[in-house]
Structure 1
Amino acid sequence: MKRILKILKWTLVFILCLGVVLTAITYFYMRQEKFGALPEGKRLELVKNSPHYKGGKFRNLVEKPIISDGYSMWSEGWKTLFEEFPRREPVDVLPSVKTNLKTIPADSNVLVWFGHSSFFLQVDGVKILVDPVFSGNASPLPGSVKAYKGSDIYTADDMPEIDYMLLSHDHYDHLDYETVKALKSKVKYVVCGLGAGAHYERWGYRTQQIIEKDWYEKVEVKTGFTIFTESTHHDSGRGFKGAQSLWLSFYIQSPYMNIYYSGDGGYDSRFQSIAQKYPQIDWAVMECGQYNKAWQSVHELPEEVVQATVELKAKNMLPVHHSKFTLGQHPWDEPLIKITSLSQSKPYRLATPMIGEKVLLDNTTQIFKQWWNNVK
Structure 2
Amino acid sequence: MTLFSRVLALACLLAVSFGLVACSVRAGNPGVGPRSAQLGDDGLFRNVADPSDRPTAGTWAIWSRLLFETKEGAVPVDAIPVRRIDRAMLDALDPNANHIVRLGHSSHLLKLRGQYWLIDPVFSDRVSPVQWAGPKRFHAPPLSLQELPPITGLILSHDHYDHLDEGTIAYLRERVQRYFVPLGLRARLQDMGVDPKRVEELDWWQGSSHAGVQLTAAPAHHFSGRTLFDRNSTLWASWLIQSGDERIFYSGDSGYFAGFKTIGERFNRIDIALMENGAYDNYWPSVHMSPEETVQAFKDLGARQLYLVHNSTFNLAFHTWQDPLNRVADIAEREGLPLATPEIGEVLTVGQPRQNQRWWKDLR
* CA distance in 2: counterparts of 1:204 and 1:74, whole angstroms: 37
- Supply the AA of the counterpart residue of 1:58: F
* CA distance in 2: counterparts of 1:38 and 1:153, whole angstroms: 38
Partner of 1:312: 301
* CA distance in 2: counterparts of 1:272 and 1:355, whole angstroms: 29
Partner of 1:68: 55
Partner of 1:231: 219
- Supply the AA of the counterpart residue of 1:76: I
TM-score of the pair, normalised by structure 2:
0.86
Partner of 2:270: 281
Of 353, 359, 364, 1:371 maps to 359
* CA distance in 2: counterparts of 1:195 and 1:306, whole angstroms: 30
- Judging by fraction of residues, say which structure has more helix: 1
Quickly say closer, same or farther: Cα 1:89–1:221, change in 2 above 3 A: same
Task: Give deviations 1:4-59, integer Å, cap 9, x for gaps.
Answer: xxxxxxxxxxxxxxxxxxxxxx9xxx9xxxxxx9655xx34x16x11211022001
* CA distance in 2: counterparts of 1:315 and 1:151, whole angstroms: 30
Partner of 1:90: 76
SS of the residue corresponding to residue 286 of structure 2 reads coil
* CA distance in 2: counterparts of 1:81 and 1:113, whole angstroms: 32
Displacement after TM superposition at 1:311 (Å): 1.2
* CA distance in 2: counterparts of 1:107 and 1:243, whole angstroms: 40
Is 1:99 matched up with 2:85? yes
- Supply the AA of the counterpart residue of 1:122: K
* CA distance in 2: counterparts of 1:249 and 1:75, whole angstroms: 30
* CA distance in 1: counterparts of 2:54 and 2:295, whole angstroms: 22
Partner of 2:44: 57
Partner of 2:344: 355
Quickly say closer, same or farther: Cα 1:220–1:214, change in 2 above 3 A: same
* CA distance in 2: counterparts of 1:155 and 1:319, whole angstroms: 22
* CA distance in 2: counterparts of 1:83 and 1:141, whole angstroms: 24
Task: Give deviations 1:289-334, integer Å, cap 9, x for gaps.
Answer: 0001121101011000000101111111111000011111000110
SS of the residue corresponding to residue 128 of structure 1 reads strand
Task: Give deviations 1:88-145, integer Å, cap 9, x for gaps.
Answer: 1001111110122442433342111111100111222232100011001111143433
Task: Give deviations 1:191-238, integer Å, cap 9, x for gaps.
Answer: 001111111111111122100111110012255x31011010100011
- Supply the AA of the counterpart residue of 2:224: S
* CA distance in 2: counterparts of 1:120 and 1:76, whole angstroms: 34
Partner of 1:79: 65
- Supply the AA of the counterpart residue of 2:153: Y
Is 1:213 matched up with 2:199? no
Quickly say closer, same or farther: Cα 1:142–1:66, change in 2 above 3 A: farther
Aligned positions of 1:297-336 closer than 5 A: 297-336=286-325
Displacement after TM superposition at 1:342 (Å): 1.4
Partner of 2:166: 177
TM-score of the pair, normalised by structure 1:
0.84
Percentage identity across paired residues of the two chains: 33
Of 111, 116, 136, 2:125 maps to 136
**CA contact 1:67–1:294 (8 Å) conserved in 2:** no
SS of the residue corresponding to residue 343 of structure 1 reads helix
Partner of 2:179: 190
Task: Point out the structure with max Rg over C-alpha.
Answer: 1
* CA distance in 2: counterparts of 1:127 and 1:355, whole angstroms: 18
SS of the residue corresponding to residue 333 of structure 2 reads coil
Of 193, 198, 201, 1:204 maps to 193
**CA contact 2:158–2:236 (8 Å) conserved in 1:** yes
SS of the residue corresponding to residue 53 of structure 1 reads coil
Partner of 1:164: 153
Of 283, 293, 296, 1:294 maps to 283
* CA distance in 2: counterparts of 1:269 and 1:66, whole angstroms: 10
Superposition RMSD in Å: 2.2
SS of the residue corresponding to residue 344 of structure 1 reads helix
**CA contact 2:108–2:120 (8 Å) conserved in 1:** yes
- Supply the AA of the counterpart residue of 1:91: V
State the aligned residue count. Answer: 335
**CA contact 1:67–1:296 (8 Å) conserved in 2:** yes
Quickly say closer, same or farther: Cα 1:180–1:51, change in 2 above 3 A: same
**CA contact 1:93–1:148 (8 Å) conserved in 2:** no
Task: Give deviations 1:274-303, integer Å, cap 9, x for gaps.
Answer: 111111110000000000112110101100
SS of the residue corresponding to residue 273 of structure 1 reads helix
Displacement after TM superposition at 1:189 (Å): 0.6
**CA contact 1:264–1:299 (8 Å) conserved in 2:** yes
SS of the residue corresponding to residue 275 of structure 2 reads strand
Displacement after TM superposition at 1:73 (Å): 2.8
* Residue ranges of structure 1 left out of the alignment (5+ in a row): 1-25, 31-36
Displacement after TM superposition at 1:67 (Å): 6.8
Quickly say closer, same or farther: Cα 1:309–1:217, change in 2 above 3 A: same
Aligned positions of 1:331-350 closer than 5 A: 331-346=320-335, 348-350=337-339
